[in-house]
Amino acid sequence: MFHLLKLELMPIYHTLGSIPSKRHTIFRKADGSLYAEELVSTHGFSSAYSLVYHCHPPTIVKEIREPYDVSPKIARDRHLKHTSLKGFKVAPKADYLESRTPILVNADLHISLAAPQRSMTDYFYKNSQADEVVFVHEGKGSLLTGYGCLPFGPGDYLVIPRGTIYQMHFEEINNRLFIVESFDPILTPKRYRNEFGQLMEHSPYCERDIRKPQDLQTFDQKGDFEVRIKKQGLIYPYVYGSHPFDFVGWDGYHYPWALSIHDFMPITGKLHQPPPIHQTFETHAFVLCSFCPRMYDYHPQAIPAPYNHSNVDSDEVLYYVDGDFMSRKSVERGQITLHPGGIPHGPHPGTVEKSIGQTKTDELAVMIDPFRPLMLTEEALAIEDPDYYKSWMEN
Ligand SMILES: [Fe+2]
């Protein structure tokens, strides 16, 4: 049925600003000159796209400065050890791009932590190869793009499709971000969508929870505008002759959007429900799940804590956001555990017994299960708890 089943990124049509009634037709400014139309398309011309109308062509390159390398520095490429990282030990840095610290990576995704202190005001950024999911653990502000503005706060997933030029503006200096770059498109789970792409009744979130760009402001400006473009591990500082946010209008399916983890309505059951019920996004290479406060299982003999499990063919990354995590003995905010595929893991000693009879949990965490093994970077080793793998031993 057309490309309905291939819908990727955001299956909601959205438009802001002024656009002509027919695409690819004459559309003039007040002074009689033409607006510059740009098609922003994915998978060649076969998947989600938007049509953008610029005040000036998006092609006016004045200078390309020397690129610099930001590729992850791999320190442990092969391993088979349960690992714990203290994410909040990553030191804050003033600049957004400098603060992004890759910690767990493979050919499909890069997971980074960041604690930026300053808004981006003197440059713009574009990831030309990866969709980005920026999970806002701490901090408030706005994601600014040509498509409009997305205000954000703690608990928001900002989904920024590849090719989007953006700026992060923060309201204060204390910000903690968990960032996933996915070289495969970020999708909403296929099993929650009908043949029209609409999120179905059993989905834990629906279109009402998806926040789209708002308040389109047109920056009709010429000058020198630096856009740092990421491709193949390098950042190319481009100087453009027109403001990147010079959209007078746009429409389509390719644009940044936001979803709050607090708007994810957990599915619960009479007995312990498996991790897929927490699934929030999917790609062909990994899934992303949200563990949210919820009622526990209601069978009188139920054990709410999870069973031991073997991730036969995926690694498992948990990023702890808030609350007590029922199956772990001691976790702190910002902590990351990596349980590699190939060996089992499970609840810590005592936590199974302790969970019996409890009625609810206030845990909040983000989980990523990649299908290919993750490698650890130098920065990950610097924040590693070396004895974590022994933490299942009885005291
Ligand atoms: Fe697990």
Per-residue pLDDT tens digits for 144-155: 999 999 999 999
The three-class DSSP label of residue 351 is: helix
Distance from Cα 364 to the centre of ligand 1, integer Å: 15
Give the separation between CA 65 and CA 109, rounded to whole angstroms: 27
Q: Token pair for residue 280?
A: 């929030």
Distance from Cα 346 to the centre of ligand 1, integer Å: 6
For the question of whether the overall pTM of this predicted structure is more than 0.85, the answer is: yes
Question: Residue 237's beta-bridge partner residues?
Answer: 228
pLDDT-derived band at 394, boundaries 50, 70, 90: confident
Per-residue pLDDT tens digits for 167-187: 999 999 999 999 999 999 999
Among 58, 42, 121, 59, smallest CA distance to 248 is for 58
Distance from Cα 360 to the centre of ligand 1, integer Å: 19
Distance from Cα 332 to the centre of ligand 1, integer Å: 17
Distance from Cα 86 to the centre of ligand 1, integer Å: 18
pLDDT exceeds 90 at position 243: yes
Among 261, 291, 262, 282, smallest CA distance to 367 is for 291
Tally: H helices and E strands in the chain: 3, 31
Give the separation between CA 340 and CA 311, rounded to whole angstroms: 7
- Pair 145, 164: CB distance under 8 Å: yes
Question: Could you say which DSSP state residue 315 is in?
Answer: -
Overall average pLDDT of the 195-201 stretch = 93
Question: Residue 239's beta-bridge partner residues?
Answer: 63, 226
Distance from Cα 71 to the centre of ligand 1, integer Å: 29
Average pLDDT, rounded, for the chain: 95
Distance from Cα 133 to the centre of ligand 1, integer Å: 22
